[in-house]
């Protein structure tokens, strides 16, 4: 099966045979794709994300449940046309997760699967993990927002011991704990396939930052991960220092997300030492920490003197004032590599407003309009900054 029309017809046929209500949005999407068919296109992403409806008038569409998933999986068995499936923000629950797990054992072409926020718990996650042990096609798995807990996390960590296909895993806000975090770090010391790992917002009770130390030791020996997201891990200065001690040997990491932690000036000093080593890191997210002016100055000095690889720095909501913000602005006079700088949420007064207004105005601004989260303007000869939309 290799077309939208054949997929649609098979779905309708199976729904009728099973006496199940037809999902009109799915039919609509496939019909629309059929009408927009391009001869060279032989794959398609099926988007059934409940928060991204294709029909704006359908305000209260029924969410996809386990029964709908069963019909969909039967339809997609043997299908080589649908290579990406987005079921985010539906209600498939554990029953649907078990069906998905069976489907993963059979599919040979599905490359991306989004199951974020689907009320999946440990049992469903275990079935998905089991299916992935026999799967050789899936590269991207998103399970954000499902309460899979420690046991679900342990099941997925176990899968990473045998699966050689997965390249990206997103399990942010899934109630992971110390036991599952340590399991992931242990497995990732030896896994040479995973490239992106998002495991933000675990539930941790210890104040000793044991899990941060385990992540630091893992990153020293892992040469495959390029993106790691450790937001809301309770990382403080001690954890930041441990990370730097081991990251200094890592030459693969491109994206490091340490947002929403408790790193203050001393931790920022250690991170600046890491930046001075000019690692291949291109994006550093330190938003929503407590850098304060001294921390910003440490980072600015590192960027001005020794770093020639970082492209994006996020320092939103870090208790900065004019002193720290002006230091950041001034370091861009010397540093010609940094392209994106995000600073909204700090205490921005006249001096900082003037400094960033100079960076963003003119025919050839140092920061392009889309590369920062502030926009300057002047009222009665006084400069101000306004917030604009940004990815952070």
Instruction: Please report which confidence band the pLDDT of residue 29 belongs to, taking 50, 70 and 90 as the band edges.
Output: confident
Whole-angstrom Cα distance, residue 206 to residue 249?
A: 27
Q: What is the pLDDT of residue 2?
A: 60
Whole-angstrom Cα distance, residue 204 to residue 215?
A: 14
Q: What is the pLDDT of residue 41?
A: 59
Average pLDDT of every residue of the chain = 93
Instruction: Please report which confidence band the pLDDT of residue 43 belongs to, taking 50, 70 and 90 as the band edges.
Output: confident
The phi, psi pair for 122, rounded to 5°, reads -60, -40
Mean pLDDT across 363-371: 91
pLDDT, tens digit, for every residue of 214-227?
999 999 999 999 99
Q: Which of the residue ranges 90-99, 244-253, 296-305, 355-364 would you say has the lowest mean pLDDT? A: 355-364
- Whether 285 contacts 311, CB under 8 Å: no
Q: Which of the residue ranges 54-68, 102-116, 126-140, 345-359 would you say has the lowest mean pLDDT? A: 54-68
Closest CA to 248 of 209, 225, 281, 291: 281
Q: Which of the residue ranges 13-17, 55-59, 100-104, 224-228 would you say has the lowest mean pLDDT? A: 55-59
Higher pLDDT, 165 or 2: 165
Q: What is the pLDDT of residue 59?
A: 47
Closest CA to 300 of 250, 240, 239, 341: 341
- Whether 198 contacts 169, CB under 8 Å: yes
Tokens, residue 62:
């029924």
Q: What is the pLDDT of residue 57?
A: 46
- Whether 25 contacts 55, CB under 8 Å: yes
Higher pLDDT, 37 or 280: 280
Whole-angstrom Cα distance, residue 342 to residue 214?
A: 29
**Domain residue spans of the chain:** 1-203, 217-392
Instruction: Please report which confidence band the pLDDT of residue 21 belongs to, taking 50, 70 and 90 as the band edges.
Output: confident
Q: What is the pLDDT of residue 101?
A: 98
Q: What length does the chain have? A: 392
∠59-62-66 over CA atoms, to 5°?
155
Instruction: Please report which confidence band the pLDDT of residue 37 belongs to, taking 50, 70 and 90 as the band edges.
Output: low
Architecture of domain 1-203: Alpha-Beta Horseshoe (3.80)
Q: What is the pLDDT of residue 285?
A: 98
**Per-residue pLDDT for 239 more than 80?**
yes
Q: Which of the residue ranges 36-50, 162-176, 346-360 would you say has the lowest mean pLDDT? A: 36-50
Distances (CA, A) of 280 to 193, 250, 253, 283: 19, 9, 7, 9
Instruction: Please report which confidence band the pLDDT of residue 54 belongs to, taking 50, 70 and 90 as the band edges.
Output: low
Q: What is the pLDDT of residue 58?
A: 52
Mean pLDDT across 144-155: 98
Query: How is domain 217-392 classified at the CATH fold level?
Result: 3.80.10
Q: What is the pLDDT of residue 55?
A: 54
**Per-residue pLDDT for 113 more than 90?**
yes
Mean pLDDT across 160-172: 97
pLDDT, tens digit, for every residue of 194-219?
999 999 999 999 889 999 999 999 99
**Per-residue pLDDT for 376 more than 70?**
yes
% of the chain with per-residue pLDDT over 90: 82
Whole-angstrom Cα distance, residue 268 to residue 276?
A: 12
Closest CA to 347 of 303, 305, 296: 296
Q: What is the pLDDT of residue 247?
A: 96
Instruction: Please report which confidence band the pLDDT of residue 62 belongs to, taking 50, 70 and 90 as the band edges.
Output: confident
Whole-angstrom Cα distance, residue 109 to residue 282?
A: 32
% of the chain with per-residue pLDDT over 70: 95
């Amino acid at each position: 099966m290799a077309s939208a029309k054949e997929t649609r017809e098979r779905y309708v046929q199976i729904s009728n045979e099973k006496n199940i209500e037809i999902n009109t949005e799915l039919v609509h999407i496939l019909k629309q794709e059929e009408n927009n068919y391009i001869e060279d296109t032989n794959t398609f992403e099926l988007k059934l994300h409940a928060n991204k409806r294709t029909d704006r008038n359908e305000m209260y569409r029924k969410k996809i449940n386990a029964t709908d998933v069963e019909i969909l999986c039967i339809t997609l068995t043997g299908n080589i046309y649908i290579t990406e499936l987005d079921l985010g923000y539906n209600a498939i629950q554990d029953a649907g997760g078990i069906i998905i797990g069976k489907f993963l054992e059979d599919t040979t072409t599905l490359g991306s699967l989004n199951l974020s926020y689907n009320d999946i718990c440990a049992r469903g996650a275990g079935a998905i993990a089991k299916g992935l042990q026999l799967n050789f096609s899936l590269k991207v798995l998103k399970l954000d927002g499902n309460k899979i807990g420690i046991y679900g996390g342990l099941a997925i960590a176990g899968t990473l011991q045998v699966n050689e296909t997965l390249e990206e895993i997103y399990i942010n806000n899934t109630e992971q704990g110390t036991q599952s975090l340590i399991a992931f770090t242990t497995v990732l010391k030896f896994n040479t396939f995973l490239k992106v790992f998002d495991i933000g917002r675990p539930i941790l009770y210890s104040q000793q930052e044991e899990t941060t130390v385990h992540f630091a030791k893992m990153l020293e020996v892992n040469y495959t991960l390029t993106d790691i997201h450790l937001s809301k891990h309770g990382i403080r200065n001690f954890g930041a220092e441990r990370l730097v001690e081991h990251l200094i040997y890592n030459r693969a990491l491109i994206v490091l997300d340490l947002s929403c932690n408790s790193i203050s000036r001393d931790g920022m000093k250690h991170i600046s030492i890491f930046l001075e080593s000019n690692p291949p890191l291109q994006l550093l997210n330190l938003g929503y920490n407590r850098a304060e002016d001294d921390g910003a100055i440490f980072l600015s000095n590192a960027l001005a003197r020794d770093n020639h690889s970082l492209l994006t720095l996020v320092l939103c909501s870090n208790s900065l004032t004019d002193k720290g913000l002006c230091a950041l602005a001034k370091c861009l006079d010397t540093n010609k590599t940094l392209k994106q700088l995000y600073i909204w949420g700090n205490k921005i007064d006249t001096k900082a407003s003037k400094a960033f207004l100079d960076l963003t105005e003119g025919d050839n601004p140092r920061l392009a309009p889309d590369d920062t989260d502030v926009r300057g303007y002047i009222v009665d000869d006084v400069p101000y900054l306004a917030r604009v939309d940004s990815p952070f």
